[in-house]
Structures are given as C-alpha cells and as structure tokens.
Amino acid sequence: MTSLLDELKDYSGKGLYPCHMPGHKRHAFDHIPGDIAKIDLTEVEGADDLHDPSGIILEAERFAALQLGADESFFLINGSTAGILAAISACTDKGGRIVMVRNSHKSAYNAVYLRELDPVYIFPEVMETPCIVEAVRPEEVRKALDENPGVQAVFIVSPTYEGRLADIAAIADIVHERGIPLIVDEAHGAHLSFDEGNPSDAIRRGADIAVQSVHKTLPAPTQTAILSVKGGLVDRKKLRRFLSVYQSSSPSYPLMSMIDGCIRYMADNRDLVPAFKDNFEKLLKRLEVCDKLIFRPFAEELRSGRADYGKLLICTDALGISGVRLAQLLREKYGIETEMTCPGYILAMFTVCDDKEGFERVADALTQLDLDPEICEKAEKAPLGTGLSRHPQRVMLPSKAADSESEEIPLSASEGRICTGMVFIYPPGTPVLAPGERIEKEHTEYILKCISEGFNVKGIGDGCISVVKNG
C-alpha cells in the first residue's frame, strides 16, 4: 500500500504548475526547506480532502485504524486539543452533563465551556512521593455515576502526564453499564498501541474514543495526533462534524504525511517498544544505588500496570534541593534538559527514540549528583511540599462564570471570590483553578509559591486574577 508521503512526492513530480495555494508555489526558501515545500499541497485533484476523505487520506486513516485496533481513526493536525474538543462535543448535548477527572488538560475545560456543560469532577487520589495525582480508579468513576444521574459521557486521562495508568477495562465496563461512551485522553500513550504481543492502549481495553498525540512518544513532529473510535455509542456523523469545526480548513499535508509515516514506521518496527521498555527498566536498576534521590515509578508499578514506561519522576526532597535547582544542575553541568520541574520533583521523559547512550547519560548524571557533597552542603533545607490538600469547590457553571461580568483583582485579595478563567501551570496544563470555582486561601498561597519558584503560571497577569464581578 502506497504511503501518503509517496503519493505527495509522486504528485509533485508530475510537473503541474501550481496556479493555486499555498503561496510559496512549492519553491524552497531560507525559512521553508525544499523537501517540505514540494509536498505542501492544498486540496487539488488527487490529493484528497481531510474533511471529506475518499482517496489517499482515507486509505491512510484506514491503515492507522487497523494498526490501532479501531473502527475508524482520524488524523489530527491541530493536535490532541482538537480531538478532545471534538470528542467531548460529539458525545454530549449542549447544556448536558459529563463526568470528568479534575486533572484533565485545559482543552477538556474549553470543551465544557463551549458546550455549556455541567461537569461532575472526580478528584483522584494524590500520591505522597512525589505529590502527584494518581490515575482515576474504577470505584471513583462508579461513585460519580451513581451519585449524578443524567451523565452523557465520561472523560478520563490515562496515562497521566506523570505516567500513571488507569484500569481502562474495568472503567469501560462501569461506563457501558449506563449505555454511555468512555472518552480517554491518551495523549501521552500513543506507544501503548505498538507493544508487540501486549498492546495496552485504551481502544483495545474498551474505550469508545481515544485521543493520542503521536508527537509526544513516537517519531512524529509537534502538533500531530490521532483520534480513534470504536463501537456504536458514538455518533460518527456528529463526531466528523465537530472535527471539521475544530480543525483547520487548510490542513497541512506535510503533517498528515508524517502522521501516516509514523504509524507505518511503528507497524514495521514493533520491536521498538519492547526494546524501549527494557532500556527503561535498566535505567531504574542503575538508579537503585542512589541514596538521596528517589525515583518513580517503582519496578512493581510497571509490572502491575499502574505506571507507564518512559516517565521518570525524580524526587528531590531528600536531597534538600528544589526541582528547579536540580533541573538547572542537569542542564548546566550535564547538558540534559528535562520535561518539567516542580518544587519537589522533576520529570524526565523517554520514548522509543531514545538510544542506549541517552539512557546511560542520564543515569550517569543522576548517580553523580546523588553523591555530590557540594550540592548537599548548599541544599535548601526548607520543606518543599507541593500540591493542594483542599480541592476547589465549584459554585457556578463554568460557562456562566466565564461569560459573567468580571474584574481583575490582586490574587492576594481574591479569597472567597469566583474564578472566571483557568489558572494552570504549563506544562502540563491542568488547572489549579477552573471557571466557576471559589478561590480559597490555600489556592492563592500555592499559586504565589509556584510563581515565586519560577514556574510558568498561566491565568495570572501582573499578580491579578479575573473573578466574577460582585460574586
């Protein structure tokens, strides 16, 4: 079967003069590499149409669905964000009710706003070392559904940003008992579909819709993703309509060809995931010599399916330094850039594209840092606890709060007020406060602490936060 990239190259080689978009006319420029320009087409004859595919794009999407165990798969050139927006919109009525985990990505909250939904939040448990949100448990989903009638869909995240895995099969059974669809934000789990002989992805475990960012853990460029659907609980016509709403009407052919190429590459190289898992386990084994740094996941968490491979959490409290400082040391002293920093830990991310030398380089750096006496002497001894012990209370529909007359007030003076927007640390983009939630002292103190420690906090401008006026 011919790949989308081969078809685009074949078209480019026909010598047809482009009296059409894009404006570069397939010429190379300093800012546009020639190989990209040649395949950057519009919906000309023979190039198909992402929003109504019937030719080469449809064939590529069907090939992806076959590899991913889905009934249908749809290429996303606006990232997983577009897929999450479309999935939630297609599975709910405007003004309907949805159960969703509170550690959802901001795109899910934007879907709640756009569809004026009444969200029932599940606050999964928080781990102690490090202080991160666990994957949602089946009993938490059952409780939310038992206590809240009229729910039209359930939205969960697995793997989480930190690599925690939910029991998708058990949750799917609970959700399907109600005759409603389960949507899984699987943005960080595209590799799970290609574990030779042991695929553990959401679609194969019972999800009705799964959204995967192929660019996060597979060899694909930023902004590429796939939405897969299976079963009869999702209105496919409605889903296609919303995909057309949330995706560009001028989709990138280079990005589409690279999604197709990524899936084909993984289908032809199914030994990549087992080799990657083996390298990650060897990394954890090497790090067992460390006395001060603590690492998650533990080996037994991987074997039991509670944690995913590739997300190494490096806890710094016992070393006495902040995550920010440890990330700085890894960058400046060892030339290693990590994915995310928090007060008490950092996240180092590995994928199927990391080679053995990369794993060894990280292991060497961490074992040396653990023994460095200079670091211990200069360590910050103040407690570096993170996270919130008190969940925000929603007192107003998110859409109503977001559209209310608002005012900007100092964050320090916002206790008791109702938030109109999202306040979140990026990455990963999970809100500390969401629209319609009442702000309490603990929330303001936590946000101010994150700002003071140099984290990228969104939704706060010049120390002010937007709140409902007179609310």
Contact criterion met (CB below 8 Å) for 217 and 188: yes
| Answer CATH for 393-468 from 1.20.1250.20, 3.30.1150.10, 3.90.100.10, 3.60.15.10 | 3.90.100.10
Task: Note the Cα 110 to chain centre separation in Å.
Answer: 15
Q: Taking the domains of the chain in order of start, what are their residue ranges?
A: 4-268, 272-377, 393-468
Q: Please tell me the CATH superfamily of domain 272-377, with its number.
A: Aspartate Aminotransferase, domain 1 (3.90.1150.10)
pLDDT at position 341: 87
Per DSSP, the residues of 294-342 read: EEES-HHHHHTTSB-TTEEEEE-GGGTS-HHHHHHHHHHHH----SEE-
From the list 236, 162, 227, 232, the residue with the least C-alpha distance to 190 is 227
Cis check for the bond before 297: say yes or no (omega within 30 of 0).
Answer: yes
pLDDT digit string, tens, across residues 379-389:
554 444 445 66
Provide the 8-state DSSP code for 149.
T
- Report pLDDT digits (tens) over 299-328: 999 999 999 999 999 998 777 788 888 999
Instruction: Go through 196-233 and write b for each residue having 16 or more CB atoms within 10 A of its CB, e for each that does not.
Output: eeebbbbbbbbbbbbbbbbbbbbbbeebbbbbbbbbeb
The two structure tokens encoding residue 362: 């990280």
Please give the pLDDT value at position 136: 98
Q: Tell me whether strands 393-394 and 406-410 are parallel, antiparallel or unpaired.
A: unpaired
Name the stretches of the chain with pLDDT < 70: 373-389
What one-character DSSP code corresponds to residue 128? Answer: S
Distance CA 89, CA 140 (A): 23
Identify the pLDDT of residue 373: 64
Distance of alpha carbon 337 from alpha carbon 335, whole angstroms: 7
Rounded to whole angstroms, the Cα distance separating 298 from 303 reads 9
Output DSSP code: residue 92. Answer: S
Contact between 154 and 98 (Cβ < 8 Å): yes
439 by Cβ neighbours in 10 Å (0-12 / 13-18 / 19+) ranks as: buried
Q: Which residues contact 385 (CB under 8 A, 6 or more apart)?
A: 131, 317, 343, 344
107 contacts 85 by C-beta, under 8 angstroms: yes
247 SS3 class? coil
Architecture of the CATH domain 4-268: 3-Layer(aba) Sandwich (3.40)
pLDDT for 390 equals 73
Length of the chain: 471
pTM, entire model: 0.94
